[in-house]
Amino acid sequence: MSKKPIIGITMGDPNGVGPEVIVKAISSNEIKDLCEIVIFGDAGILQKAANNSVSNIKIVECSEFGLEDLKPSTLDRKAGQASLDYITTAVKSALENEIDAIVTAPISKESTHLAGSKYPGHTEMLKDLSGSNQAVMMFEGQKFKVMLVTIHEALSNVPKLISKDRVLSTIKLTHDSLVTLFKIDAPKIVVCGLNPHAGESGAFGNEEIDHIIPAVEEALELGINIEGPLPADTLFYYANQGKWDAVVAMYHDQGLIPFKMVSFNDGVNITLGLPIIRTSPDHGTAFDIAWKGVADPSSMIAAIKVAAQFAINKST
């Protein structure tokens, strides 16, 4: 890529910390030097978040939400609809190659549901908007990366969602992404068991025997450098020491509790399997501190940097 990548940032829920962390992030010199920014949101709200100091930034106005609608720290149907409008417009722009990647600021699922959305989060929405067959969440931090086999599912539903094909496709997507987007030539991957002690040969469940082990064995046959399934309670200790490039976890909290213990402020959420690049900060709308001027932009800065690097790597 001979020119700076163009990164589109969706403003997220206007009543949350999205506008604040965006204006703080794009004001940092490391972001100014790395990429060009296009914000999908509302100019008046961004100016208010920046105390009228935002300049020379392209803003795509794509909703009916304005400064007069702002209700900081509040669940609101109109804010939820605006969040959806920002995302829809940004995805269209990315699919038409007008921008090189999307970084999404946090949305309130409750507010988007008030607006009529059926989706439990960004990932599922982006999958449908981009016409993708698969969308998988990866979390990138300073110590290790985590990929999730299942995402926003009730814990009671997880065991029946674990299948050889689903685990194997997640492993393959993890490997391919580490090679193409992260430029790791020979990535090392480890897989978590679902049950305590990785099932202990069927003593605590058969998901490992029936699904996870066969998936790992087939991945090995494909030439993927992989271990597991290993017990999650000890695996992350070694992952934190850098033993592997990525961990494939079976469900949301199994992977994200240890990840957020070490990368809460600078973790990045990445959606893989899409035809477009998408990253986001690894935090929510933080209504408790929204519009108080104290939100930390570290995770947004990290998300923009990862998106820009992915765009560069993808073009080479």
pLDDT in tens, 185-244: 999 999 999 999 987 888 888 999 999 999 999 999 999 999 999 999 999 999 999 999
Averaged pLDDT score across all residues of the chain: 93
**CATH number assigned to the domain with residue range 142-265, chosen from the 4 options 3.40.190.10, 3.40.718.10, 3.90.320.10, 3.10.180.10:** 3.40.718.10
Interhelix angle 18-26/298-314, nearest 10 degrees: 60
- Of the candidates 280, 255, 249, 285, the one whose C-alpha atom is nearest the C-alpha of residue 267 is 280
Task: Give the CATH number of domain 1-133+275-316.
Answer: 3.40.718.10
What was the pLDDT predicted at 2? Answer: 54
Q: Percentage of residues in the chain with pLDDT exceeding 90?
A: 81
How is the chain split into domains, by residue range?
A: 1-133+275-316, 142-265
